[in-house]
Structure formats: C-alpha cells, structure tokens
Amino acid sequence: MRLWRYVSILCCVWALPAYAGGTFSFTLDNDLYFGTDREYSNGGLFSYTADIGQAPQFIRSFLANTFEPEAFQMRYSLGQLIYTPVDKQTTDAVPNERPYVGLLFGQVDAVYSKGPLVHRLSLVLGVFGPPAIGGEVQNFVHSIRDLPRAEGWDNQIRTEPALNLHYDVAAPLNVLGDEAFALTLEPYLGLSFGNVSTSARAGFVWRFGPDLEGQPAALSIRHGHEVPRLFKPKDSFRWHIHAGATGEVEAYSTVVEGNLFRSSLEAPDKTLQWEGRFGALASYGRYWLGFGVSAISRRHDFQERTFHRIGEIRFGISLF
C-alpha cells in the first residue's frame, strides 16, 4: 500500500519545474460552503503557470514545428478530487448511489494561440482508489471542523491508474474594449478521452472588468477547460467578474461508474450534463484572490433531482 502511494505521488509531480518564474496558485472547492457534503465533495489544486521560456525543450520544439504558435505557455498542476455517496455514516456498501472515489493526479497543459483561436492540449496522470488518500483527507478536514467521520471509505473503488487526454479550442472575442471597462466572451469546444472522463463538451465564459489583459482565468478543478492565463502583475488594484456554462455529453467516467478494469460499486451515469459558474477575482501587485460558485446538474440517475452547489476559493502569487 505504501509503495502505491509513493508511485502515485511521483506520477503526479513528474512534470513540475525545478525553478520558479511564473505564477503559483491554489484552488480549493467544497460543497460544505452550502451546507451539503455529498456527491462531488471536495477538490484541491496546486498550479504553476509559466511562459514558453520555461517549457521543456522537446515540448517547445514539437509545438513550434507542428503548430507554429504565435504565443505559448505551460501549466503544471497537482490535484485531488473526492467523491462520496449521500449516506456516509454506514460502514456497509451503499447501493444505488455514487461510489466513494478518491483521485490524486498530476496534469500538464500546453496552451498556444494561432490566429483568432486558442488551443489547449492536456495530459492527466494519476491514481484512483486507496493510494489517492481520499478518505484520510476528508476525515482530517472533518476532524478539524468537528464534523462526523465518513465511515464508508473501506468500500471505495479499487486501485487503478488514471489517464486522460484533453483537447479544447476557444475563440476569445472582445465584445467591449474601451479604456474604462472590457467585456469578453470566450466560447469553447472540447473532447476528452480516458478513464477519468470520455466526453465532448461546449461552453462559454464571460469576463467583465477594467484591464482584463494579464488577469488569471476562472479555472474549475473538476474540468479546467477554460484557458490558463499567465498572470501579469501591476502596481494597481484590478478586478473582474466572470460567468460561464458548460454542456457535456459523457460516455464514461470512473468517478460515477466505478472501476474500468475491475468490479466495483457504481451508479448509472447521466449522459447529458451541465454546469453553470459565477465568480469574481481581485488582484494587487503580485497577489490575487478569487471566489466562485458552481451549480452542477445530476451526474447519475439516483441523485436527487436538483443541482448541486459548490463554493470555490482561489489565491495566487506571481514570481516574476
């Protein structure tokens, strides 16, 4: 068991750079902000976004020779996602609900622009099951907040590697761009393939505020489909609000349907899904802080017939 944990952590951090010069950020989301503790329960994501000069040479050469990008940046992330059934007080297996799932993962995003379009290529490597330490993290947080333990983690899905590929393309549009305020619309399309999620999606993100250039994006831990942006610090107070929505057709997801290669508890997946998001972000100098609210549709047939609300807090620092 310990060996699996060490291997999973190494798989997650293999792409982190050895030096800093970009932007570090941390995102934490949880449904406890809205008084629930079920389904998608918690997520955390550490990210480092860098410009082209800090990308590995083989990646720079591949993108330059293959796509001839006009601008290019990288993002390296380490994250964890935790999913639980509604009934977490029983030690027995809970049928007809989402299984207990922990996912510990590393993610590398290569983002490049060419003409009016921005492209994102993404690789996710990680592990499902006990090595993802989902139960330990959740019950540690519960102990700090004096909440009941989740007693059913012995029934979580079995250990299995996580592998996913993502491709998204966005077409940023400057709807309003005077000197005082700017309004941008960023529609996007995307595909995912792997055992984390095999799906197709379409969505959009609105942003409104003064001086949007160089402000970070409103990224979702669960999807992360919005284009990562390299934060450019300024010695002034800046802010923006953002809103967006995503519609998705999903063929398979381990976090709902259980193990792909082994038997486990599962729930019948809802093929059509949606998510709406709203939030705000403020920065001063090298530092920024943001919050967001998400409303997520049902992910399986036995879920309550209502959307699930998630709160999100993000903060970051530029090391330029």
Per-residue pLDDT tens for 163-209?
999 999 999 899 987 767 899 999 999 999 999 999 999 999 999 99
- Given pLDDT bands bounded at 50, 70 and 90, which one contains residue 141? confident
- Residue 300 DSSP one-character state: B
> Residue 105 class from Cβ within 10 Å (0-12 exposed, 13-18 middle, 19+ buried)?
buried
User: Would strands 182-194 and 160-170 be described as parallel, antiparallel, or unpaired?
Assistant: antiparallel
Q: Which amino acid is at 154?
A: D
Instruction: Please check the confidence at residue 3 and state whether its pLDDT lies above 60.
Output: no
Structure tokens at 155: 């029934």
First to last CA, the chain: 40
Cβ 275 vs Cβ 292: under 8 Å: no
Predicted model pTM: 0.85
pLDDT for position 14: 43
The helix (H) or strand (E) run that includes residue 206 is strand 198-209
Q: Which of 179, 288, 184 is nearest to 236 (CA)?
A: 288
Cβ 122 vs Cβ 165: under 8 Å: yes
How many residues are recorded in the chain?
Answer: 320
Q: Report the chain's mean pLDDT, rounded to a whole number.
A: 81
Q: Which of 233, 174, 4 is nearest to 102 (CA)?
A: 4
Q: Please count the other Cβ atoms lying within 10 Å of the Cβ belonging to residue 199.
A: 21
What are residue 198's DSSP bridge partners?
252
Give tens-digit pLDDT for 264-303. 666 666 678 888 889 999 999 889 899 988 888 877 666 6
Cα separation, 288 vs 28, in Å, equals 14
- Given pLDDT bands bounded at 50, 70 and 90, which one contains residue 133? very high
Give tens-digit pLDDT for 73-130. 888 899 999 988 888 888 888 777 788 899 999 999 888 888 888 888 899 999 999 9
pLDDT for position 127: 96
pLDDT for position 163: 95
